[in-house]
Structure formats: structure tokens, C-alpha cells
């Protein structure tokens, strides 16, 4: 974009100024100095804004160009080409625990590498993996929804890792099927206790305060957790209540606003849906992209980051609709924050139409 600035060709200086300026070291009056300084400052600020805008667009160039070039159909084909599989030779503890009933799904494996090991409780195993981000080697713990048998293990993990944020992306029952055990109380000041003396108390709950209109519903709970031999632990529980299983919610900036609230956390953010790979993986990849934008670092194709994520949390992202959702949310954010040049608006509008059509009913 070229910006033209039109200025007057000359200024008239009164006669007395010509006389006074003849002396060595003479200066223009303060009013002229101030005007010149203001003009110089504005010019510098304009140049800085142009440079910043150019840097932003260069930073996201690969992601934007590849996303629009592939389009919705191309991204669906790309996702389907990245086959999900279980290499059980890399999941020895997961296989061993199948007989113990500590895995929610026998076809959703848990890799030995990056597996969370509980060291303060009676059981060391939990279906959970540490997952890194560009700024934190343990930004997340991705885990399955607790089973009745594993609720105490879940809370031992929370306390051990000193996690102060839990993201729950599912409901207890979805499509008439049990997807998560009741691992926290839903009534204030009525403790929920588990075997071994583990106790959880709900102190308060309130809707997430979105700064814009959205249909997304997230309930924020403050929980106090007690496990034997450890100090009382307080954490925040963010329950996303309307993200459908294997589907997608409305695509807006809700996940980015939610993650921004947690950006100062240094302890692992615990994320789960039912299996702990689909909706969970979507949130993780959005956060990965957001951190790259703030480094700054180039934002590449999402497939690059998905391949790396699956090396830590096996089979992350379950459906092409979730894969598309990540792209749509990021494009909306880039538009909102001026990373996108206005010239690409027609491409964004076309992509959005195709996205809505492809995800309708999911």
C-alpha cells in the first residue's frame, strides 16, 4: 500500500526572524521547533507502523498462502493423508494398564515418551502426556477424561504438577454415552471425596467473561483439592460446555481469549476432552500458533505442527472438521489483528463460506 503525503511548498518567515537568524547559533522560535519535532515524530511513527505491518504479514506469509492455495478441500485431503495409527511397541505401559481398567479407550494409546508419571500417589500410571509449546517444554498435559477408577489419580497429578488451570472440553454425557466421570462437585461447599482421602470442594462458579458476543459457553470454577501428604491446592477449572464430540463449536475468537487468560501460567495447563486427543489437540495447536506469533517466528503450515504434536500425544486431532476449525480460528485472529492485507479479503470470505459448508451439522 502506498501512502502519499502532501505538504506545502514553503513557509513565510517574518523579517525579524531573518535578522535574528544571522547570529551564530541562532534557533527558530519554540513554536516552529515544536511543529518540526511533531512532524518528525509522526513520520517516524508512520514508518514504524508500516514496518510492523510488513513484518506481521511476512511472519504469516507461508500459513496464509498455503491455506488459501489448498482451500477447504485441499486441507481435508491433507488431513486424511496423515494417517492415525497406534504403535503399541511405543506404548508398553498403556498396554499393561488395559487389564487394570485405567484406559478409557483401548484404541487410543498413550506413548511411553512424555508420559506423566505420578510420584506422590499410590498409582503411578495415568493416561496423560506432557506436550510442549514454542515457549514451554511442558506447556500442557493432555489427558483422557477421568474414569471412576482414575479420579484420585487425576487429582494427584494436578497437585504434583502444581497445575492451576484445567480445561474440560467435554460433558459428562454426550450423545447418550458416558464420556467423563464426575471428578469434581457441581454444588458449592459440598465436598466430593474419593478413595484414599482425596477431596475436592467447589468454592465458586461463574460464566467466563468474554469481551464480545459469542454463543460459546464456558463455566469457570474455583476448586480446592486435598490429597494425603500434600498442602491444600487451589486451581481454576474451565468447562467448555458446548463443544460437540468429534465436531466443532462456532468458529470465533473464544479459544484465543480463553488461552490468553492462561498465558502467564508456568505450570502445565491440563486439558482433556473424552479421549484427550481431538478437541484437546485443537486447543493445543491454536496455542502453538499464538506463541509463534508473539515470539516472533514464522507461522508455517499447521500440518508441520500436527506431526510434531502426534509425537507427544498420539493421534491428536481426530477429524478433518477439527483440522479446519484450527485454520478458520487462526485466520479470523489474523484478520482482527491486521496480519492480513485487505487484498486477501475475498480469499478469506471464500474460505469461510467453504468452511461453513464443510462443517455444517458437525
DSSP string of 316-356, one letter each residue? ---SHHHHHHHHHHHHHHHHHTT-S-GGGHHHHHHHHHHHH
Report how far apart, in Å, the C-alpha atoms of 201 and of each of 34, 128, 184 are: 62, 23, 7
Q: CA 119, CA 230: separation in Å to the nearest integer?
A: 12
**Could you tell me which CATH number the domain at 88-318 has?**
3.90.190.10
Torsion angles phi and psi, residue 242, rounded to 5:
-130, 35
Mention every residue, 6+ apart, whose C-beta is less than 8 A from residue 239: 168, 218, 219, 220, 221
For the CA atoms of the chain, what is the radius of gyration?
27
Q: For the segment 78-90, what is each residue's pLDDT rounded down to a tens digit? A: 999 999 999 999 9
Tell me the pLDDT band of 5, cut-offs 50, 70 and 90: very low
Q: Give me the residue spans of the domains in the chain.
A: 88-318
Residues in the chain: 362
pLDDT in tens, 231-284: 999 999 999 999 999 889 999 999 999 999 999 999 999 999 999 999 999 999
pLDDT value, residue 7? 37
- What does the buried/exposed string (b/e) look like for 226-246 if buried means 16 or more CB atoms within 10 Å of the residue's CB? bbeeeeebebbbbbbeebebb
Amino acid at each position: 500500500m502506498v501512502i502519499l503525503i502532501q505538504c506545502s511548498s514553503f513557509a513565510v518567515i517574518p523579517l525579524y526572524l531573518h535578522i535574528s537568524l544571522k547570529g551564530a547559533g541562532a534557533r527558530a522560535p519554540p513554536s516552529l521547533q515544536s511543529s518540526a519535532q511533531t512532524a518528525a515524530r509522526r513520520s517516524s511513527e508512520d514508518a514504524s507502523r508500516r514496518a510492523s505491518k510488513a513484518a506481521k504479514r511476512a511472519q504469516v506469509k507461508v500459513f496464509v498462502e498455503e491455506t488459501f492455495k489448498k482451500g477447504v478441500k485441499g486441507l481435508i485431503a491433507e488431513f486424511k493423508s496423515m494417517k492415525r495409527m497406534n504403535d503399541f511397541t511405543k506404548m508398553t505401559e498403556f498396554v499393561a494398564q488395559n487389564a487394570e481398567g485405567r484406559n478409557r479407550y483401548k484404541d487410543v494409546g498413550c506413548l511411553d515418551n512424555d508420559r506423566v508419571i505420578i510420584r506422590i500417589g499410590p498409582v503411578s500410571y495415568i493416561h496423560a502426556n506432557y506436550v510442549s509449546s514454542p515457549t514451554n517444554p511442558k506447556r500442557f498435559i493432555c489427558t483422557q477424561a477421568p474414569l471412576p477408577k482414575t479420579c484420585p489419580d487425576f487429582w494427584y497429578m494436578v497437585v504434583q504438577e502444581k497445575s492451576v488451570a484445567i480445561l474440560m472440553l467435554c460433558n459428562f454425557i454426550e450423545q447418550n454415552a458416558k464420556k467423563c466421570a464426575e471428578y469434581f462437585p457441581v454444588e458449592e461447599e459440598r465436598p466430593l471425596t474419593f478413595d484414599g482421602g482425596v477431596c475436592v470442594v467447589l468454592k465458586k462458579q461463574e460464566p467466563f467473561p468474554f469481551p464480545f458476543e459469542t454463543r460459546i459457553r464456558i463455566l469457570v470454577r474455583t476448586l480446592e483439592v486435598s490429597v494425603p501428604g500434600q498442602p491444600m491446592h487451589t486451581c481454576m477449572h474451565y468447562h467448555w460446555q458446548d463443544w460437540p464430540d468429534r465436531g466443532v463449536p462456532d468458529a470465533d475468537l473464544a479459544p484465543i481469549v480463553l488461552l490468553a487468560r492462561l498465558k502467564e501460567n508456568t505450570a502445565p495447563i491440563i486439558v482433556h476432552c473424552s479421549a484427550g486427543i481431538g478437541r484437546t489437540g485443537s486447543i493445543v495447536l491454536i496455542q502453538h500458533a499464538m506463541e509463534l506469533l508473539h515470539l516472533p517466528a514464522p507461522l508455517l503450515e499447521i500440518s508441520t505442527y500436527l506431526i510434531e504434536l502426534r509425537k507427544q500425544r498420539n493421534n491428536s486431532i481426530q477429524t478433518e472438521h477439527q483440522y479446519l476449525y484450527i485454520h478458520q480460528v487462526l485466520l479470523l485472529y489474523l484478520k482482527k489483528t491486521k496480519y492480513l492485507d485487505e487484498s486477501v479479503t475475498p480469499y478469506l470470505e471464500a474460505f469461510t463460506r467453504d468452511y461453513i459448508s464443510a462443517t455444517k451439522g458437525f
